[in-house]
Structure 1
Amino acid sequence: MRRTARLLAATALAITGAAGLAAPAHGGGTPPVAGTIDITPRTVAPGTHVTATTDACAGRGSADGDASAVGAGRFTLAPSSDEGRAIGQFKVPPSAQPGTYEIVAKCAEGGRQVLGDLVVALGPAHGGAAVHPRGSVKTGVGGALGPDPVQTAAGVTALAVAAAGGTWLLHRRARGDGM
Structure 2
Amino acid sequence: MKIRDQMTRDVVTVTPQTPLGEARSLLEEGHLRCLPVVTAGRLTGLVLQSDPRVSAAPPHTPVQDVMAPATATVGPQSRIERAARLMLQHDIRGLPVVDQDGMLLGVLTASDLLRAMVHSPREHLVLSLDAAARAVGPRFRLFLGGGPQSATLMRRYSAWVRHHTP
Give the TM-score taking structure 1 as reference length.
0.20
Higher-Rg member (1/2): 1
Give the TM-score taking structure 2 as reference length.
0.21
State the structure with bigger RCO (CA 8 A, min sep 6), 1 or 2: 2
